[in-house]
Chain A
Amino acid sequence: MSVQKSTKGRSARRAHHISLKKLKNAVFMTLATGICLFFAILFLTPIVLTITNSFMAASEISANYGSVFATTASGGRQFVAERVNLKFIPDMVSFSQYITVLFKSPEYLLKFWNSVFLVVPIMIFQLLIAALAAYGFARYDGKIRGVIFFAYIILMLMPYQVTLVPNYLVSEKLQILDTYWAIWLPGIFSPFSVYLITKYMNRIPTSLIEAAQMDGAGEWKIFTGVCMPLCKGIIFSTGILVFIDYWNMVEQPLILLSDPERYPLSVYLSKINAGEISLAFAVATIYMIPTLLVFLYGEEYLVEGITYQGGVKA
């Protein structure tokens, strides 16, 4: 009798405990969702603003933001609002900005191609050379390699302003100043991707490589047949980071190229602010499209590239 009672009490207590736990859990979930929601709204605002405002006519833009840019803008304005009017939905959807950018002023498209022409070779060759180097670093450990790798990390951390003078000096010596080579070459040999990919390749178990070696695979075969398939994710995700970084470059072209005709759109876009603010949103939206595509295609890689997904886990 008494035994029964006590078990009953215990189960009741347990039930109570569980419901408390459930409550706690629910509170935690709402809190977590709340935090995420808050940050999501904060994070999305600029991107949404850029896209929606690109569909506003010039007059609407200047009415909304005139007060901020009136001081810097060239030329008179008919009407300048006293305060900023942050608007997400245009009064009237207008494609006039896009028409101007795409058809009336070819310089934007030209600069867009400059950007593509600058960034794509850097991305491809940086990844290729970095993957090779990463294999070298991960394959065999030695004191010298450790030192070289540390040097890479230090170089990677240097702000551009520090490498700016070395960069400039080399370009001058090689007589590639004012050509795209001055941007391509330092970009291609940037240590950043070497670091990221090596970090990942170090996780590939030695046994896997030794097994391939036993089967008579040479170094090249091991690299292409064993390492590359395992590192697909990290290479993609590094590629995304490299792309974003160079797609937005501003300093390098300004310093290493003297002909404004050859500037990428990112430089051009950063100068638009003052003059043609109304066009800026449309140009920015167009400029965002490649990044958007890279993301849509590669987000999974960006997420998964970081976690080790190899067949055999150490």
Chain B
Amino acid sequence: MPQTGEISANEYGIPKKRFPGKKQESPRTARIRRPHIKRKRTKRDIIAQWGSTLFMAPSVIGVLLFFVIPFGVVIYYSTLNNPIAREFVGLENFKLVASNEAFRNAVHNSAVFSVIAVPLAVVLSLILAMALDSKIPFRTQFRSFFLSPMMVPVASVVLIWQVLFDYNGAFNELISHFGLEKIDYLKSDKAIFVVVVLFLWKNLGYNMILFLAALSSVPQDILEVAALEGATSRQVFFMIKLRYLASTMVFVTIMSLINSFKIFREVYLLTTDYPYETIYMLQHYMNNKFRKLDYQALSAGAIMMSLVMIVIILILFAADHHYGKDLEG
């Protein structure tokens, strides 16, 4: 039996509740979960709890030491006027950063980029996965081809993108045959599209793999029933498959979001510290602040960014939870 709703509800990995509310237990999953009546904790429960805590210990200690505690220091820094005088200034740094023109521009650009790139990455990779999921020839070859951009070293990606999109580049050469005007793409308003293309090129393959896995886990018997009932392929897609894909979509969105931040590496190598206005991202801002040793501004910016991320993640999880529950019922 392929995966059930109970599993896809947990797609993003938040551990499921051990004693869930009474209603949503289906008889089949009840067998493998513990009974939902709160019973006395046995010795075995205690072993499970403390034993598994030991397993987590190295990672949690490491994360505390290398990420959480330093982050606390960053919060501390964000409230100081400068690292030497160490005077407490409250939210002054936040006000300064938030009113900074470069920061606002960077936030705007990063937001625009993510809003364009992430949904495109999700939708296009879903289309590719659907295409590969049908019985077209050379499926495994295509799959490998789509994954191949992951292999190319960042530096040669940059090199090739330069060759393609430079003023004298190959793309300009191509469109000049159609009578279009040559422009220097990375120094124009179209720069953001070059970055979006680069992002999609790099990440569609992996997203597609995730979707392929999810598509193969749609219960076959439901599809058979749908076929018997005479459902059109459109109905099958929107009413069955899409629902089973919902939590994978959340996962793919999270991965794409991570990768949309990572694309900075390429952009940075393509354009250095101060690129064209429209592709000046938050990371550029932070990188430049780091170079100038302006830790207060950097810390304040980082904290604001973290807050936005937390909100986005909470929304995504809420959406997933909603769909997941829907599926179980």
Taking the closest CB of chain B, its distance from the CB of A178, in whole angstroms, is 17
CB of B142 within 8 A of CB of A162, answer: no
Residue A140, interface by CB 8 Å: yes
Q: Size class of B's contact patch?
A: 35 or more
Residue A198, interface by CB 8 Å: yes
Binds A, one of B95-103, B147-155, B319-327: B147-155
Partner of A166, one of B3, B74, B131: B74
Closest to A205 in B: B32
Interface of A is mostly: helix
CB of B3 within 8 A of CB of A158, answer: no
Residue B168, interface by CB 8 Å: yes
CB of B152 within 8 A of CB of A307, answer: no
Closest to B303 in A: A162
Give residues of chain A (70-89) contacting chain B, Cβ–Cβ below 8 Å.
82-84, 86
Residue A101, interface by CB 8 Å: no
Give residues of chain B (148-164) contacting chain A, Cβ–Cβ below 8 Å.
148-160, 162-164
Partner of B205, one of A33, A43, A194: A43
A140–B156 CA distance with the chains assembled, in angstroms: 45
Binary CB contact string for chain B from 123 to 160 against chain A (1 if under 8 A, 0 otherwise): 00001101110111100001111111111111111111
Residue A151, interface by CB 8 Å: yes
A46–B34 CA distance with the chains assembled, in angstroms: 53
Residue A203, interface by CB 8 Å: yes
Q: Which residues of A contact B70 (CB under 8 A)?
A: 165-167, 169-170
A141–B10 CA distance with the chains assembled, in angstroms: 13
Q: Which residues of A contact B262 (CB under 8 A)?
A: 159-160, 245
CB of A84 within 8 A of CB of B286, answer: no
Partner of A189, one of B59, B153, B251: B59
Taking the closest CB of chain B, its distance from the CB of A230, in whole angstroms, is 14
Closest to B110 in A: A159
22 contacts between A and B (CB under 8 A): A36-B128, A36-B131, A47-B149, A47-B151, A68-B162, A132-B59, A150-B14, A158-B306, A158-B309, A159-B264, A161-B290, A163-B71, A166-B71, A167-B66, A203-B3, A207-B31, A250-B154, A291-B151, A295-B147, A299-B147, A306-B209, A308-B3
CB of A202 within 8 A of CB of B169, answer: no
Q: Which residues of A contact B163 (CB under 8 A)?
A: 49, 65, 68, 84, 86
Interface size on A, residues (CB 8 A): 108
Partner of B173, one of A84, A186, A218, A251: A84
CB of A302 within 8 A of CB of B66, answer: no
Partner of A156, one of B29, B68, B206, B258: B258
Closest to B310 in A: A154
A160–B12 CA distance with the chains assembled, in angstroms: 22
Binary CB contact string for chain A from 297 to 309 against chain B (1 if under 8 A, 0 otherwise): 0010011001110
Residue A148, interface by CB 8 Å: yes
Residue A3, interface by CB 8 Å: no
A222–B298 CA distance with the chains assembled, in angstroms: 45
Partner of B73, one of A169, A273, A288: A169
Give residues of chain A (133-181) contacting chain B, Cβ–Cβ below 8 Å.
133, 135-142, 145-146, 148-167, 169-170
Closest to B128 in A: A39
CB of B154 within 8 A of CB of A266, answer: yes
Taking the closest CB of chain B, its distance from the CB of A273, in whole angstroms, is 6
